A and B are shown apart, each in its own frame.
Chain A
Amino acid sequence: MIKNEQSLKSNQTTITMIKITDLKKSFRTEEVETLALNGVNLKVEEGEFVAIMGPSGCGKSTLLNIIGMLDNPTQGSYNFAGHEVGGLKESQRTQLRKGNLGFVFQSFNLIDELTVFENVELPLIYLKMNKAERREKVQKVLERMKIAHREKHFPQQLSGGQQQRVAIARAVVTNPKLILADEPTGNLDSKNGIEVMNLLTELNQEGTTIVMVTHSDRDSHYAHRVINLFDGQIVTESQNKPMKSMV
């Protein structure tokens, strides 16, 4: 992690976090080739909050997966904070992802066998951080997410909103540069949804870059910029006036 931090610092003269050029992604089954992304160009600056919208099947999730380094593009270039990511091996991507990226999913994806505390602690374990440091960081972030009193509970003992707060805590516990959120409010009622969006906005205001895929117009208004994807291409880009947190 330290290594990554240093390499990121050395690149701080450029403030572009994500630079995607002519990105293509195709999926091939035996008979059909589907072009999920067809020449996407996208730049995200450090500190931005970007929402990606579009109908089902337009390629939103594919794009987010590539940005999140969970998948490789078929063609084109993806530069993350000065590192070319396209063409890296899985193990190299894992290495680059660690500590730099945080993920928030629609279905929370907490591990059922681990407690709240242990779920949040997980990324720190893979960063090989020592125990005392881990405890301190996890407690801090749990307090911040107002879920510290539940640290010994298991995910299935929590409400949906609480689970998503744990998931966000897990995403931010490493202080990532970039948070990727895939429909973070999709499984939540509106009250909990708004709470989650406020949390993300807060994190963004503290300097974390956020890229979020969403179906919800309400959620997209929290972003600085909205990108509309259709059939694998960016069709429109619109600038939002940043909203104040809603309660």
Chain B
Amino acid sequence: MIKNYLKIAWRGLIRNKGYSSINIVGLSMGLAACMLIVLYVGHELSYDKFHGNADNIYQAETEMTFGKDPIYIPYLDYSEGPKSKISVAGIEEYLRYQKISENVLVTNTETPSLKFSEDNILFADPNFFEFFSFNLTNGNKREVLINPNSMVISERIATKYFADADPIGKSLQLFGNMLFTITGVAENPPSNSSIHFDFIMPISSMLRIEKYKEDIEQGYSNFTTLFLLDELADPKMVEASLLNSIGKNSGDDLQKKYLLKPLRSLHLGEDWAKNKYIRIFPLVALLILILALVNYASLSTARSTTRSKEVGVRKVMGAPRKAIAQQFYFESALYTVISFVFGYFLCLTTQSKFFELLGVEVDKAFIYSPEMLLSLLLLLLLTIFLAAAYPAILLSSFKPIVVLQGKMSKQQGGVALRKFFTVFQFSISVVLIICALVMDRQLDFFRHADTGVDRENIVMLPFSGNLGKHFGAFQEEVSSLSEIVETTSGILPLYKGHNMMSAQSDTGDEMIFLPTLTINKDFISMMGLDWAIPPKDSIAQMGNKSAVIINQAAVARLSLKDNPIHQKINDRYEIQGVLKDFNYSSLHHKIGALSLFVKNDPSYAWLEQGGVLYAKVGPKTNIPTILDELKIIYQKYENEQPFEYYFLDDVFDSQYKAEDRLAKIFGAFTGFAILIAVMGLFGLATFTALQRRKEIGIRKVLGASVENVATLLSKDFLKLVLLAICIASPFAYWFMDKWMENFAYKAPISWWIFVLAGVGTLAVALATIGFQSIKTATTNPIKSLRTE
């Protein structure tokens, strides 16, 4: 029986190629989109699950409350880990590691040409590979990090530096002249690990490196510290006893607390449901699946009018309703399985692009993992179940005398429901179009917003203390390049961070964290910052340590007088001038209070810890050439730290990466939704034309023109699309209004966006239906009237 069903389904598929391909293409695309999202969400949710102790590992974090604002520091000091293990009940084991924040030059001593700047470098406790479940392909878990000179590298690094040779026992040179002997090779950390490493060295070796040693000895070190808790231990209790045992010594008015974050929550945050993508994506996947399914149901029931005779005959032959329903179920299953196979290929071929768009990396091993294959199988079963249900119920309900005698009324063909489906599909498409347009406007607004800063053509070159010692010479050499218009310096790159200082408000009852920029005197003019109250002395004379400049927001935040010149912050820093507010961080937030310390030290001693050179490039400069020139100068003064540069406007734009991705993905999904809806509409128009052949034949015999008929056929559909636009617009407005709440500075949601979306949709719909309508309208009526 099943064979019979599949046979007839297969023949139907081959005979109605147009119909079948619309149906299968639509469903495959929907399924492919769904699969991609299943993979993405599955990957996000699987982070760090592969560790054997995953559920009992917690990362310690310090919460410090200062005045009103708590700040969170995800590190403990060097000594706090071991102390906790001894004195806190419930902690079975600890692990500390520190990732080096700057790039480090690594050299293969045997082949010095193999020299690269690397950034995945960790110092860790020797139990790293026992604590976690990263696999070693070479070396003993317990022993690889015992010796202070030992080093474990990842497989990709082993290949990079040693090709096919066995790296065990060989050495790599780091931090100038330190040699580390490779004792183990680890499998590359999987893409769903929140800990990434290429080089791991024992913590003990840090004590041999001056700059790390100092921090550790003075108790200012920052180590990511994880605890393995007893299965029965209550993390809340452990948090409390941590405070009692290691939190005592900080005597100042900081309120300190320790928090334990489950390892499994590190990637998505404690409340993963709040993560934007993880929340939106399954919804989008479901939406696209529904679109594809609605499309399928709509097309299959439209075709039902041509299948009704078969149903009638089968029933007369003695088929019970169940058997008919079963038959159509199998038929849908066949279509779904075919679509699924196509969809899977589509998914596999597009996954790398999709993940690139999302800015994530997903291992092949994960994509083909049994868990994911099982999820996809579930998706297949769900799709079969949903795709088949409605057509099977509808088609099996046909009464044989009605269908065999051609008395099938339109209602029985599910016309009303198909109308609903069409409206539904187009509503979703229109919502997506409007959202995509609004997002695009907002991003455009960000990129071109006047933030009070001249962002054009400014390149930032960060440098370390090595170069800082010769900063004057370096700057001079850069300034002498003909393409460079102006230079200045600061401690941190703009938009990439700032320091904080604690400040007491003028009323004295509140402590606030006041963001701080430390800059050279030319910074203000070069960035085009405007004064609200200019300083009395020229800026050049302001270089003394107690002078400060603040912005207008700081005047308000610190409850200062309207003209606060010569007022003091913390009884120490005398205000010299007030700048108009400018955006020094992203436009997500309102401009906050800011203080600027202006340096005017010709020896540039303040840059000896490292800093940033800001260089303004002339407008018509060849960028690659000038970057090469800058690199050459940089390398004269610095041979350890690799050359890095950022363009100020790129850095500014990159603050909206999340929105940019969301917009791109929305764009892709919108395309999908429209394509599916259009294919569905095309299919429906075809069938309607077929159904109304006779009516149209009669109309033409009675004198209707081609335009009359084409209008008649198109009008009904266009009405539905128009209705969809009306339904969709308020929803879209609501969604976007909500989304805009994320930003302090917004582009207006203007009326023309809605008009554009509406007109665009109508045009696409008209083009889709028009072809069919004209084809039907130009058919010779004799043809359509003669066939029964």
Measured CB to CB, the residues of A under 8 A from B are 61, 65, 68, 70-71, 90-91, 94-95, 97-99, 103, 105, 107, 109-114, 118, 122-123, 125-127, 170
The 7 closest A-B pairs by CB, nearest first: A98-B318, A126-B318, A123-B317, A113-B11, A70-B401, A113-B8, A109-B313
Q: Which of A61, A109, A125 contacts B309 (CB 8 A)?
A: A109
Do the beta carbons of A99 and B320 come within 8 Å of each other?
Answer: no
List 18 interface pairs A-B (beta carbons < 8 Å), by A numbering. A61-B405, A65-B401, A71-B401, A90-B321, A94-B315, A94-B320, A109-B312, A109-B313, A109-B316, A109-B404, A112-B15, A112-B310, A113-B310, A122-B314, A123-B318, A125-B1, A126-B314, A126-B319
Do the beta carbons of A118 and B318 come within 8 Å of each other?
Answer: no
Closest to B15 in A: A113
Interface residues on B, range: 20 to 34
B218 close to A (CB within 8 Å)? no
Closest to A180 in B: B316
- B428: shortest Cβ distance to chain A, in Å? 34
Do the beta carbons of A170 and B317 come within 8 Å of each other?
Answer: yes
- Which of B318, B321, B400 has the most chain A CB atoms closer than 10 A to its own CB? B318
Complex CA gap A127/B314 in Å reads: 12
Contacts A113-B11, A113-B310; is A99 near B316 (CB within 8 Å)? no
Chain B contacts of A126 at CB under 8 A?
Answer: 314, 317-320, 323
Contacts A91-B320, A94-B318, A126-B318; is A70 near B12 (CB within 8 Å)? no
Chain A contacts of B788 at CB under 8 A?
Answer: 107
Closest to A90 in B: B321
Chain A contacts of B323 at CB under 8 A?
Answer: 126
Do the beta carbons of B401 and A114 come within 8 Å of each other?
Answer: no
Do the beta carbons of A122 and B12 come within 8 Å of each other?
Answer: no
Complex CA gap A179/B331 in Å reads: 32
B411 close to A (CB within 8 Å)? no
Closest to A100 in B: B318
Q: Give B252-266 as 1s and 0s: 1 = Cβ < 8 Å from A's Cβ atoms.
A: 000000000000000
Chain A contacts of B1 at CB under 8 A?
Answer: 125
Chain A contacts of B310 at CB under 8 A?
Answer: 111-113
Complex CA gap A103/B315 in Å reads: 11
Closest to A131 in B: B3
Do the beta carbons of A91 and B321 come within 8 Å of each other?
Answer: yes
Do the beta carbons of B318 and A99 come within 8 Å of each other?
Answer: yes
Do the beta carbons of B320 and A114 come within 8 Å of each other?
Answer: no
- B544: shortest Cβ distance to chain A, in Å? 94
Question: A65-B401, A111-B310 are known contacts; what are 5 more A-B pairs with Cβ within 8 Å?
Answer: A70-B316, A71-B401, A113-B12, A113-B310, A126-B317
Chain A contacts of B315 at CB under 8 A?
Answer: 94
Chain A contacts of B320 at CB under 8 A?
Answer: 91, 94-95, 126
Q: Give B305-334 as 1s and 0s: 1 = Cβ < 8 Å from A's Cβ atoms.
A: 000011011111111110100000000000
Q: Give B468-500 as 1s and 0s: 1 = Cβ < 8 Å from A's Cβ atoms.
A: 000000000000000000000000000000000
> Within residues 557 to 602 of chain B, which ones have a CB less than 8 A from any CB in chain A?
none
Complex CA gap A123/B4 in Å reads: 13
- B616: shortest Cβ distance to chain A, in Å? 75
Do the beta carbons of B318 and A127 come within 8 Å of each other?
Answer: yes
Chain A contacts of B11 at CB under 8 A?
Answer: 113-114
Chain A contacts of B8 at CB under 8 A?
Answer: 111, 113-114
Q: Give B1-16 as 1s and 0s: 1 = Cβ < 8 Å from A's Cβ atoms.
A: 1001001100110010
Complex CA gap A220/B76 in Å reads: 104
Contacts A118-B4, A125-B1; is A105 near B404 (CB within 8 Å)? yes
Chain A contacts of B7 at CB under 8 A?
Answer: 118
Complex CA gap A123/B319 in Å reads: 8
- B45: shortest Cβ distance to chain A, in Å? 45
- Which of B11, B313, B405 has the most chain A CB atoms closer than 10 A to its own CB? B313
Closest to A71 in B: B401
Chain B contacts of A122 at CB under 8 A?
Answer: 313-314, 317
Complex CA gap A61/B405 in Å reads: 10
Closest to A110 in B: B313
Closest to A170 in B: B317
Chain B contacts of A65 at CB under 8 A?
Answer: 401
- A37: shortest Cβ distance to chain B, in Å? 14
Complex CA gap A109/B314 in Å reads: 10
- B402: shortest Cβ distance to chain A, in Å? 10
Closest to B315 in A: A94
- A176: shortest Cβ distance to chain B, in Å? 10
Chain A contacts of B319 at CB under 8 A?
Answer: 94, 126
Do the beta carbons of A70 and B400 come within 8 Å of each other?
Answer: yes
Complex CA gap A103/B11 in Å reads: 25
Complex CA gap A61/B310 in Å reads: 20
- A92: shortest Cβ distance to chain B, in Å? 10
- A62: shortest Cβ distance to chain B, in Å? 9
Chain B contacts of A99 at CB under 8 A?
Answer: 318
Closest to B400 in A: A70
Complex CA gap A150/B315 in Å reads: 25
Complex CA gap A134/B637 in Å reads: 93
Do the beta carbons of B401 and A103 come within 8 Å of each other?
Answer: no
Do the beta carbons of B318 and A97 come within 8 Å of each other?
Answer: yes
- A131: shortest Cβ distance to chain B, in Å? 10
Complex CA gap A242/B690 in Å reads: 46
- Which of A70, A90, A95, A114 has the most chain B CB atoms closer than 10 A to its own CB? A70
Complex CA gap A91/B318 in Å reads: 10
- B514: shortest Cβ distance to chain A, in Å? 79
> Within residues 1 to 42 of chain B, which ones have a CB less than 8 A from any CB in chain A?
1, 4, 7-8, 11-12, 15
- B140: shortest Cβ distance to chain A, in Å? 65
Chain B contacts of A127 at CB under 8 A?
Answer: 318
- A35: shortest Cβ distance to chain B, in Å? 17
Closest to A98 in B: B318
- Which of A91, A113, A118, A127 has the most chain B CB atoms closer than 10 A to its own CB? A113
Complex CA gap A113/B400 in Å reads: 18
Chain A contacts of B312 at CB under 8 A?
Answer: 109
- A177: shortest Cβ distance to chain B, in Å? 14
Complex CA gap A63/B755 in Å reads: 59
> Within residues 444 to 486 of chain B, which ones have a CB less than 8 A from any CB in chain A?
none
Complex CA gap A121/B89 in Å reads: 79
Do the beta carbons of A125 and B4 come within 8 Å of each other?
Answer: yes
Complex CA gap A97/B400 in Å reads: 13
Complex CA gap A125/B314 in Å reads: 10
Chain A contacts of B15 at CB under 8 A?
Answer: 112-113
Chain B contacts of A111 at CB under 8 A?
Answer: 8, 309-310, 313-314
Complex CA gap A61/B316 in Å reads: 15
Complex CA gap A181/B312 in Å reads: 16
Q: Which of B4, B316, B321 contacts A103 (CB 8 A)?
A: B316
- A228: shortest Cβ distance to chain B, in Å? 22
- B631: shortest Cβ distance to chain A, in Å? 71
Complex CA gap A112/B12 in Å reads: 9
Closest to A173 in B: B317
Complex CA gap A65/B316 in Å reads: 10
- A147: shortest Cβ distance to chain B, in Å? 18
- B735: shortest Cβ distance to chain A, in Å? 43
Closest to B314 in A: A122
Complex CA gap A61/B7 in Å reads: 33
Closest to B16 in A: A113
Closest to B318 in A: A98
Complex CA gap A196/B11 in Å reads: 30
- A96: shortest Cβ distance to chain B, in Å? 10
Chain B contacts of A105 at CB under 8 A?
Answer: 404
Chain B contacts of A103 at CB under 8 A?
Answer: 316
Chain B contacts of A70 at CB under 8 A?
Answer: 316, 400-401
- B447: shortest Cβ distance to chain A, in Å? 58
Complex CA gap A204/B528 in Å reads: 106
Chain B contacts of A125 at CB under 8 A?
Answer: 1, 4
Q: Give B284-310 as 1s and 0s: 1 = Cβ < 8 Å from A's Cβ atoms.
A: 000000000000000000000000011
- A121: shortest Cβ distance to chain B, in Å? 8
Complex CA gap A68/B1 in Å reads: 25
Complex CA gap A105/B446 in Å reads: 72
Closest to A105 in B: B404
- A2: shortest Cβ distance to chain B, in Å? 14
- A123: shortest Cβ distance to chain B, in Å? 4
